[in-house]
Structure 1
Amino acid sequence: MKHSLHSITHLMLGLLAILHAMETEVGAAIDFTRDVYPILSDRCFACHGPDAEARKADLRLDQEGFITASSSEGERLVQPGDAASSILIARIHSEDPDSVMPPPESFLTLNPDEKATLSQWINEGASWGKHWAFERVVAPKIPQMDGVPPAPHPIDAFIEKTLSLKGLSTREEASKERLLRRVHLDLTGLPPSPDTLERFLSDPDPLAYERMVDQLLASEHYGERMAMEWLDVARFADTYGYQSDRFNHLWPWRDWVIGAFNDNLPYDTFILHQMAGDLIDQPTQQSILATAFHRNHRQTNEGGSVNEEFRVEYNADRLKTTALAFMGLTIECARCHDHKYDPISQKDYYRLFAFFNNTDESGLYSHFTDAIPSPTRFLYQNTGQEAEHRRAMEQIRTLEAEESMLRASAREPFALWLQNTTEKEDFILPPNNALVGHFDFETKEEKGYLNLAQADHYASLGDQPESIDGPTGKALRFDGENSASIAKVADFNRNQAFSMSVSMWIPEVRDRLIVMHHSKAGSDAGSRGYELLLEDGHASFALIHFWPGNAIKIRTRERLPIEQWLTLGWTYDGSSRASGMAFYLNGQPMEVEIERDSLYRDISYGGNTPLQLAARFRGRGFKGGALDNLKIYHRALSAPEMALATRQPSVADQSTEQPSDKPGWFDYWLKHHHEPYQAWLGKLQEARGHESQLVERLREIMVMGEIPGGRQTHVLIRGQYDQPGERVSAGTPDSILPFPEDWPANRLGLARWLVDRDHPLTSRVVVNRFWQMLFGRGLVVTSEDFGSQGAQPSHPELLDWLAASFMDTGWDVKRLLKLMVTSQAYRRDSAPTTEMTDMDPKNLWLARGPHLRLMAEMLRDQALSAAGILSTKLGGPSVKPYQPAGVWKEVSGATYQADKGEGLHRRSLYTYWKRTAPPPAMLTFDATTREDCVARRITTNTPLQALVLLNDPQFVEAARMLAQRMLVAFPEDLSAQLTFGVQCVLGRPPYPEEVQWLERIYQERLDSGQDTDESLESVGTLAWKEGLDRNSLKALSAVSLAILNFDEAIVRR
């Protein structure tokens, strides 16, 4: 603001006459939320709203206290009851470009009606209130108009009140045929069959329609229909997105959604399970599976990507989706600054962000393996598979429980055995019988350095590391880029015990150095295998299926010495537990910390994966470090064995302790001399191997899970992952609903907050979205934005009544939908009268029934259903129906291979959804890419859509098979064939003029001599039955294709 408030007093006098005139023209009372707040939000908040950084002249128009406060000169921006004395009014009427508001450079203006509204509001006392959507939901009384019988349906009572005020009359109820098709498509996504139509038309019972609604809500296809809407909101796809866009194995979550709707899971539970089904009391496999909702986001595996950057992006996506899906808010601008229009600060954003910031995940998925990004959950295909795995796990636990008893019973035999063993050299033998790799980097041949344990294996060199003097001869020094690799001898899986040792020279302490690893991937792309690292001077040893959630890792408490030769040994016992890992320094056990302890899938990778020393693709190599005398063993060495294996000649063991006193000697004796223990260990290893084999056959899916110990959250300056600012804790915007202090500050607490009875948004948003599904537009048109920039509700009292009723009756979705589709507003004929076209062209006031184009999925499903070729199988993996060649190749280099058989004709809901190349036919009809949460599809009309309906193999084949169905049903009666075909598609008999037109198409095609045209019959994979006249089929195919392109087939009236 270029002038202070007191500087414009001289403008006031010039406005007095205008304002006095306005005062005499006051109409209906002003409602602040409905009439004033939208004006302030749209024209003023960008410069004078919640965003402190964008705020001009330190002036706020979003807070009552600031608007009515007096300046030091006693002037007020708004003087309640006196518009003539209010500076706000002076500014909006000013003709001075330096004073007028909004300023010219904003390209925003106020029209005379809006200026009059602000003046009237002030004159009426300048009452204040929250934005309507942030007010608590309270059910208004059902309207009852004077002198008019009460409406039999609560929805109609609200709508008729508005229609009366608007002076609009209503249409009559739609025909039974049209109504049946409407409700069938809306509740199942499929058209009614001719048999269903006949039964419905012949039923004179006034309750026949209500019974039909109940049948449709009980149909398993209802869940599929409802899932169509939710998959857009949940941004579900079958691929990760971004550059590689590989398969993500998330389709079981889609099946959970279908089941949840079919089971009429209460909507509050639907939210709780998807947000935090892993954190509820007694979580089930299904509740945990539900949390895959927040793993549907795009993920990357592109080389060179920064793990933390994308981890932050994933959480930002979760927050964006949560805000839009459940609260109808666009919150993402608050990532970088305070929201310009809604009372959500940047700090609020990161307090919400903190609820998701504890997700135990990596920012990248694996580039080289098919590992499912953790956290994950096993999905058993049946109860038998689950029982088999549980038995395998129980057998392992039972055997492990036997160890303590075996050890106790072996103490006496051990003591007796010791009486005959006086020399420790006779007791402990070097573990050379387990040695599979020994590289002293002395003996070099053409293929590389010889393996002294197995002569046919070598250590090959990359870029020739330098040969230097080591502790026992020659060693290799690396520059951070060069390396050595050893094939075959170091291949181990998670249930195989192994040990290794190496002499090393560490030049300095660095944050991360690669000593060696056995994996296929770079350090930035989800490697699988095992690795030895130096992290800030500490040694770490990890076995990884997918980092971080499917891995075990230990780290030494103390740093390793630098600038001297040392020998480091490490062991793993094949238990898949971090407690089965150990470090030894110069033969002595080291204290370790467990960083990760959850390994449940294999670490091996197919192919010839070598053990690589000192370097890794996109990793920081062992720069300046040296290695010597590498040994590899195919079992876990005991402490005394490791002491022998790793001791250096200069530090030979001079101990005089007896075997019974030495740490680990009893363990050594058990494994090498005690037959009962050896037999038990063999059984345990066999049980672990069996369980590992079972696991490799189990399906796995990404779910949510918390990181042990949590993670700190900071406000990120300008939203950048690497610019942390103020530290914040999890919480919610007080402007919406304060977060109870005694609730858990995690995703479960956030989910409970969302479904709290006092939350102003959740119920309004979902009720509006269901209304949008049935009526084509929501009571709030901007179903994606309930904030101050969104549209006002057309029927605010109806919206609040529905939202309150929905919550107060148990969040019952089926009950709500039945309430909507049994209303007269829904059942009215959709054809407009001239009056309606003139007064309400968009049908905002609902004087006529809904009229909308079928969504992309319904268009295809309708065609397949009418043709009798639609597979009604429920659930299962995604399928690949017909698609133009080369679409995938163009965007990602992949080749699309269409399915065969049933997969070509399943419901569109199950179509494989590749984010970078969605199904092109459905994309043409405005399906989303599923890259982001979408609450409302935009409907377009393009010539390409007509080309799809006329030429796409899915529709042409459907037309062919509908023709066959018509001919088989009525072999000799063309009129009956045409009637049947129209009924299959449109759910009604044809009009006489339609019959004439279709007969003309049939005859023209029949007369055109198609007997030599084989192109039509070759479309699709389904063949016509033998014995049917081919010319009749081809002519009827043209007729069927025409019916599928009727306006009434494309539009739901």
Structure 2
Amino acid sequence: MRGLSTHFFVHAFACFCLLGNGNGEKASDHWAFQAVADPELPRVMDQTWIRNGIDSFILAKLERKGIPTPDRAIKSILERRLSFTLLGLPPSMLDPKDSLLEQLEELLASPHYGERWGRHWLDVVRYADSNGLDENAAHANAWRYRDYVVRSFNEDKPFDRFITEQVAGDLIPWNDDFSVRRSNLVATGFLSLGPKLLAEPDPVKLEMDMIDEQIDVIGRAFLGLTLGCARCHDHFFDPVSTEEYYALAGIFKSTRTMESFKRPAKWVENLLANSEEQQLSKKHQDLVEAQNAVVVAYRERANQELLASGKFNKLPKKPEAHYPEPTRKILENLEKTLKHFNGSSPQLDFAMGVQEGNVTELHVFVGGDPETRGEIQPRGFPAMFAAYEATNFHSGGSGRLELAAWLNSSRNPLTARVIVNRVWRWHFGRGIVETTDNFGLLGGKPTHPEMLDWLASRFIEEGWSIKALHRLILSSETWRMSSGPHSIASEKDPDNRLFSRSPVRRLEAELIRDSLLHLSGELDLALGGSTWSHENRKLVFNHTSEDNTNYVTNRRSIYLPVIRNNVYDLFQLFDFPNPNSMCGDRTPTTTPQQALYLMNSPLVRQAALGFSQKGFGSDPKVRIQLLYNSAFHRDAEPHEIRQSLRFLESFSSKSEPSDKWHAFAQSLICSNEFLYLE
């Protein structure tokens, strides 16, 4: 059927497969569609364990289950947990004399905090430096959006403002401060980053697929809802009708994401220059053209003079070499001047993003087919919430500003709950709602619904501040729990759904790589910018061309290019998310290939070599302690020192001393204690 895409069939198949799993609950009664409450804190027996409201909610459930009050982890473990959680780096910059709360503030103030937490958000918005799909063209300016995200987290930009900038940044007044305008234009890259079938011959199909992808990422990222399921039929489970889908789609039909639909189609790039910069660039170009005209005119005059001298031999390709000396020098000086002006031309910056288009109200495409049209649907939002109020759209606008206001409304019960749950999941490895991207009827129910609402209420009260939410979570006794097993907790809470202990989690792919470079002393902590030079919109990789992407850099992993269809090998091995779709919940795997990589990878071996140089020339016991402390943030126990010495002594006397220390350093890197957080 014309107009139906692979993206559409994925939605349809997912909905079909889940059709038999309904529980009969009415959509109007679903917990996630009710207003956010502000519940009272529950009473608990062990008041000595309570540091804030989080602890009251957690301990109340543990006590009802007969699970003892959890133990606290030791400070060195908490310091390592805190540093990797907030910065994604080992805790080398922490002063052990400082309290945990003092260390918390130091880490939140670090510019590397935004790199760690910005990467979480890049998972959600399917960030990539190339298009993927049929035309894997370079997103050479996508890095500006990535840097915008990092800055936003560092600045603790209110999350409601963060949403508005990404959905409608180009429409926000900027009061003559062009730096604000520039940042807001870059923010709209959120809507443009998705994969597109650039070689699709049917422009209507291409545009509707793109709009569907935009609706899908907005629905799941901000609302935790699979809105795309309503493209061809009413949503099987959630209260979203096909009419409401096309009312929402009209907003994005009225938005210009593509510059051209001529194959291969081109996405919009917003100019990031103010009027003065644009005028300067134009004047410079006019000057270059004028200088070029002078050179051409002088050459023509010189050629005429040569012909007039009576020499009729054919002129060579570079006749100026045969000009009289004064003429040649004048031409050389003119061409040097022209070359200088060409080389010093101001480079105007561009960024992926969107613009306002022609306001359009869409017909319903029956069954998702653009050729089978139903009634026109005025632009609007799903009326799934009891507090929904009809919105009057600005007559000349797409409706994206109104959409952002609807998403951020205090009457919207989903937005604050969804982001609070995401932050909790990134701290604890599991959300209060386990299905972080699905709060609909087929999603999981919250294990602690009152705590989720209490946190969402505090989040809104604190001005939608992510850092304030960190302070609340990380100052709780719940976050400070030990990960050690407890027989009663293991029996009554085997899956840790009640958060009876701290989870043991493997470091993400980026943290493994950054830690390796950090241990070797080679990590480059420079902030921002691009590490990838590729011409914008040119193919970077497909099945008929070689991928020349260069990953050889010591910059942090967030700055490595993310190439769709060909993700960096370390990232692929250690569960980096598929950049073709949004992901709020990375799923860890354990495979033999991961162990082989740690044993044989040139990156790991080089890092181990640099790491092994620590304490060179010192007493072996002192050197072992130094390596243990660097790798694990703790001292080696006496039995570990003995085992380490035996390992070193097992090498042949003919071996180079550096070889055994290299092997020892790599053995620490390959250990679970290095790769996992307690």
- Which structure: greater strand fraction? 1
Give CA-to-partner distance per residue, 1:442-469, whole Å, 9 cap, x none: xxxxxxxxxxxxxxxxxxxxxxxxxxxx
Tell me by how many angstroms 1:305 deviates: 2.7
Distance 2:605 2:553 in 1: 13
Aligned to 1:783: 436
Contact 1:389 1:691 in 2 (8 A): no
Q: What amino acid maps onto 2:499 in structure 1?
A: L
Residue 949 of structure 1 and its aligned partner are, at CA, apart by 1.6
Which of 223, 242, 246 aligns to 2:137? It is 246
Q: Which residue of 1 aligns with 2:546?
A: 894
Output aligned runs, 1:638-1037, within 5 Å.
Answer: 697-707=347-357, 709-736=358-385, 738-742=388-392, 744=394, 746-879=399-532, 891-898=543-550, 904-967=553-616, 971-1005=617-651, 1007=652, 1009-1010=654-655, 1031-1037=656-662
2:220 match: 324
1:342 and 2:238 equivalent? yes
Partners in 2 of 1:935 and 1:147 — Cα distance? 35
Equivalent AA in structure 1 for residue 402 of structure 2: G
Aligned-residue offset at 1:843? 1.3
The Cα shift of 1:863 comes to: 1.2
Equivalent in the alignment of 1:261: 153
SS at match of 2:211: helix
Give the Å deviation of 1:896. Answer: 2.4
Q: Tell me the CA shift for residue 734 of structure 1.
A: 1.1
Pairwise CA distance, 1:152:
3.0
Unaligned runs of 5+ in 1: 1-41, 50-59, 65-128, 398-689, 881-887, 1011-1030
**Cα separation, partners in 2 of 1:145 and 1:238, compared to 1, 3 Å:** same
Q: What is the SS of the residue equivalent to 1:824?
A: coil
Q: Does 1:158 align with 2:57?
A: yes
Q: What's the counterpart of residue 269 of structure 2?
A: 376
Deviation of 1:726 after TM superposition, in Å, equals 2.2
Q: What secondary structure sits across from 1:725 in the alignment? A: strand
Quote the Cα distance in structure 2 between the aligned partners of 1:396 and 1:914.
Answer: 34
C-alpha distance 146-855 of structure 1, shift in aligned 2 (>3 A):
closer
Structure 2 distance, partners of 1:357, 1:998, is: 65
CA contact (8 A) 1:241 1:298 kept: yes
Choose from 74, 84, 105 the match for 1:175.
Answer: 74
Tell me, in whole angstroms, the C-alpha distance in 2 between the residues paired with 1:894 and 1:45.
40
Residue 350 of structure 2: SS of its match in structure 1? strand
Deviation string for 1:827-863 (max 9, x for gaps)?
0111111111111122111222232111111111111
The 3-state SS of whatever aligns with 1:284 is helix
Shift of 1:875: 0.8
Could you say which residue in structure 2 is the equivalent of 1:286?
183
**Partner SS state of residue 374, structure 2:** strand
User: CA contact under 8 A between 1:299 and 1:363: conserved in structure 2?
Assistant: no
User: 1:694, CA displacement in angstroms?
Assistant: 8.3
Amino acid at match of 1:705: Q
Distance in structure 2 (CA, Å) of the matches to 1:1032 and 1:44:
60
Task: Give the AA of the match of 2:186.
Answer: L
Distance in 2 (alpha carbons) for counterparts of 1:786 and 1:700: 36
What corresponds to 2:83 in structure 1?
184
Q: Find the residue that maps to 1:714 and give its secondary structure.
A: strand
What letter corresponds to residue 341 of structure 1 in structure 2? F
| Deviation (angstroms), 1:232 | 0.9
Name the structure 2 match of 1:616.
none
The residue aligned with 2:113 is 222
User: Structure 2 regions of 5+ residues with no counterpart?
Assistant: 1-14, 175-179, 287-339, 534-539
Partner Cα separation in structure 1 for residue 548 and residue 283 of structure 2:
43
Q: Secondary structure at the match of 1:827?
A: coil
Equivalent pair of 2:185/2:272 in contact (CA under 8 Å): no
**Contact 1:45-1:62 within 8 A present in 2 as well:** no
Quick one: which of 117, 134, 137 aligns to 2:36?
137
**Is 1:857–1:909's contact at 8 Å kept on the other side of the alignment?**
yes
Q: How many residues align?
A: 595
AA partner of residue 951 (structure 1)? N
Conserved? CA contact 1:245–1:892, under 8 Å:
no
Contact 1:310 1:363 in 2 (8 A): no
Paired residue type of 2:243: K
Aligned to 1:540: none
Instruction: Say if 1:245 and 1:298 are closer, same or farther in 2 by CA, change over 3 A.
Output: same
The higher relative CO (CA closer than 8 Å, separation ≥ 6) is in 2
Give the structure 2 partner of residue 1043 of structure 1: 668
Residue 799 of structure 1 aligns to a residue in which SS? helix
The residue number in structure 2 matching 1:12 is none
Shift in Å, 1:224 = 0.2
- 2:76 and 2:634 in contact (8 A); partners too: yes
Tell me the SS of whatever aligns to 1:726.
strand
* Mapped partners of 1:44, 1:989: distance in 2: 52
Code of the residue aligned with 1:718 in structure 2: it is G
- Larger C-alpha radius of gyration, 1 or 2? 1
What is the rounded CA distance, in whole Å, between the counterparts of 1:997 and 1:341 in structure 2? 59
Between the aligned partners of 1:367 and 1:232, the Cα distance in structure 2 is 29
Q: Distance in 2 between matches of 1:281 and 1:702?
A: 20
Superposition RMSD in Å = 3.0
- Asked if structure 2 preserves the Cα contact closer than 8 Å seen for 1:866 and 1:984, the reply is yes
Instruction: Summarize the Cα distance change of 1:172–1:700 in structure 2 as closer, same or farther, 3 Å threshold.
Output: same
When the two structures are superposed, what TM-score results if normalisation uses the length of structure 2?
0.82
SS at match of 1:904: coil
CA contact (8 A) 1:48 1:61 kept: no
Q: Give, as a single letter, the amino acid of the residue that structure 2 aligns with 1:166.
A: K
1:48 is displaced (CA, Å) by 11
Shift of 1:813: 0.6
**1:1002–1:1036 Cα contact (<8 Å) kept:** yes
Query: Alpha carbons of 1:980 and 1:147: their partners in 2 closer, same or farther (altered >3 Å)?
Result: closer
Cα distance, 1:349–1:966 mapped onto 2, change above 3 Å: farther
Q: Distance in 1 between matches of 2:562 and 2:268?
A: 23
| Aligned residue identity for 2:205 | E
Q: Identity of aligned pairs, percent? A: 31
SS state of the match for residue 613, structure 2? helix
SS in 2 for 1:850: coil
Letter in structure 1 aligned against 2:675: I
Compared CA separation, residues 920 and 386, structure 1 to 2 (3 A): farther
Map 1:7-86; keep pairs closer than 5 Å. 46=19
1 CA distance for matches of 2:51 and 2:504?
24
Counterparts in 2 of 1:293 and 1:960: CA distance versus 1, 3 Å: same
CA apart distance, 1:962: 0.5
Structure 2 Cα separation of the partners of residues 305 and 1009 of structure 1:
68
User: Are the aligned partners of 2:198 and 2:266 in contact in 1 as well (CA < 8 Å)?
Assistant: no
1:999–1:143 Cα change, 3 Å: same
Q: How many Å separate the matches in 1 of 2:31 and 2:453?
A: 10
Counterpart in the other structure of 2:254: 358
Match of 1:535 in 2: none
Q: Offset of 1:717 from its aligned partner?
A: 2.0
Letter of the aligned partner of 2:510 in structure 1?
E
Instruction: Provide the C-alpha distance between the structure 2 equivalents of 1:898 and 1:909, rounded to a whole number of angstroms.
Output: 14
Tell me what 1:1052 maps to: 677
